[in-house]
Amino acid sequence: MRDSGNHLYEAASTAVLLAGGSLLSMVVAGLGSIALARILGPEGYGAYSLVLTVPAFLMIFVDLGMATAMVRYLPRYPERAPSYVSLSVIVTTLTGSLVALLGTIASGALSRAIINRPEYSDLVVLSMPYLLAQPLLYIARASLVGMGRSAKAAVLEPLYNVLRVSLSIALAAVMFVRGSVLGVVIASIASSAIGLALLAKSLGGFKLGFRSGDLSEILRFSAPLYATGLVGSLTQVYTVLVLSRFFADPEIGNYRAALNLFSAISVITIGPFSTALLRVFSGAETRNLRELLADAVRYVALFSVPLALFSSAASQDMVRVVYGRRYAEADAYFSIVVLANVLTLLGSHALEPALSAMGLTKLVLLSGALGSLVYAPALYALVGAYGLRGAALSYLLLLAVTTLARLYLLWRYVDVPLDAKFSAKVLTSAALPSLAVLLLGGGRGFVDSLLLLVVKFAVFLAVYVALLAALKAISERDIDRLSMLSRSLGPLSGFVGVVLRYAALLVRLFQE
């Protein structure tokens, strides 16, 4: 039986491989977003975001939770991998083809009902092949992670984004919004084909057949996750309905840019851990779950919380560097939504994987539904009172309510080990230098904003680590554990090693 440290190291190694791919992917996507946003402008970027909302909503009718099921079942029953993978590919192909066909037929009605832009119906039709290709890419990536082929899985996301960015930019320069949408479609088709080829090679070839009981077994697990996704999609559609009726395309473009930047940070720092923790939780014994949860909350929060507070304080410089001056309103929205990552102190990144690993997917659905029920009236009220800042506050409220609900529901089965004193110390250590960053103001152009970001982050990091040591929020044991985990960071391990040596020096100093 492996201890929590080995489990956590496995999670970290898997997460780092995925995060490495996500980091490369988000660098490419970030640079591409800058170029695409500059080519399209706020109005065109708003139209582009609205059009892609339609296939994003229809996507939930395709996956049926199969991707998450692959991450859970393949490490548990590796001998049945060909049957499970075959099942997921067949089901996804059938549902994707059907939904894409129906979406094409009903494109006019969908454009009118979902985004309040019937004139975009031809662009919606253009996006429909995405509904078949992208879910197959998710299946391939999830299956590779479940089979322990994380290195291959990590290649797929950056591959997709490289293709998407290069094609969208090239085609947008000629065909404007139509070209950017077409670039997304072509990229998803090509990358899903490559992902399926890698998966087939790992399996030794596809054998299109599965046991009769596999479908019902997986659906019992994935159906609540599917319903959770459906609730999320309906929530997203409701959001678009409200925003499209209150705001013009340029304003929506600013808000969408803020959410994209938040997603980029979350995908790099937190998203890989959620996927990795599901795999590790699924292979762990129940009695080890409490200790593993404690470590997962403690060590992820140590870097996610300060990054969230720093990003909020330095939002003007970050948006200016990424998107340029035309997105002058995006930093106000970004500074609010990025605070959602502070919820990692409550285990926001680990609660859903823990519930799913225990087979309690119905509780995942219940918590998501509760969050949406609170969000729906809050969005309408806060948008009316505060505009798009109200939308950002509503989004933050949605994530907070969902996290608290999952925490309570998991607590009924496992004594979730949250440390209030540790949380208070981390928040204090990150909040004080963030206030200083906020008072320094922001740059006016790309160069001075970038330089300010580098200087601010260096000072912030030095003060944050010093306060952690002074408040005794970290110990020499924590530093030893983090040093072990940092070995899987590749090129970043050197930088992390310097920070940890600095932390160790301060910990010893304050102990004396």
User: pLDDT digits over 117-153, tens only?
Assistant: 899 999 999 999 999 999 999 899 888 888 878 777 7
Q: Residue 322: which of 39, 28, 30 has the closest Cα?
A: 30
**Block residue for tokens 């473009």:** 253
Q: How many CB atoms lie within 10 A of CB 430?
A: 26
pLDDT of residue 298: 82
Whether 324 contacts 446, CB under 8 Å: yes
Q: Which two tokens stand for residue 410?
A: 């998991």
Return the pLDDT at 485. Answer: 61
- Could you give the CA distance from residue 400 to residue 21 in angstroms, rounded to a whole number? 28
| Token code pair at residue 93 | 């192909």
Give first-to-last CA distance, the chain, whole Å: 38
Q: What are the tens digits of pLDDT across the range 341-350?
A: 999 899 888 8
The helix or strand, by DSSP H or E, that contains position 167, with its residue range, turns out to be: helix 150-203
What distance in Å separates the CA atoms of residue 37 and residue 45, rounded to the nearest whole number? 6
H helices present in 204-327, as ranges? 212-246, 249-269, 271-283, 286-313, 315-323
Q: Cα(413)–Cα(396) distance, rounded to whole angstroms?
A: 27
Question: pLDDT band at 507, cuts 50/70/90?
Answer: confident
**Nearest alpha-carbon partner for 193 in 142, 159, 158:** 159
- 375-413 confidence digits (pLDDT tens): 999 999 999 999 999 999 999 999 999 999 999 998 888
In this prediction, residue 8 has a pLDDT band, given cuts at 50, 70 and 90, of very low
Q: What is the amino acid identity at position 233?
A: S
pLDDT recorded at residue 157: 80
Buried b / exposed e across 418-429, counting CB within 10 Å, b at 16+? Answer: beeebbebbbeb
Q: Tokens 């926001």: give the residue.
A: 348
What residue ranges in 24-163 does DSSP mark as E strands?
A: none
Structure tokens at 21: 């791919």
Cβ-defined contacts of 321-325 (< 8 Å, 24+): 321/446, 321/449, 321/450, 321/453, 322/30, 322/33, 322/34, 322/261, 323/33, 323/34, 323/37, 323/257, 323/261, 324/34, 324/37, 324/38, 324/446
Confidence check: pLDDT of 315 > 70? yes
Q: Rounded to 5 degrees, what angle do the CA atoms 90, 95, 99 make?
A: 155
Q: Give 136's DSSP letter.
A: H
Mean pLDDT is highest, among 223-232, 334-343, 408-417, for 334-343
Q: Calculate mean pLDDT across residues 108-121.
A: 89
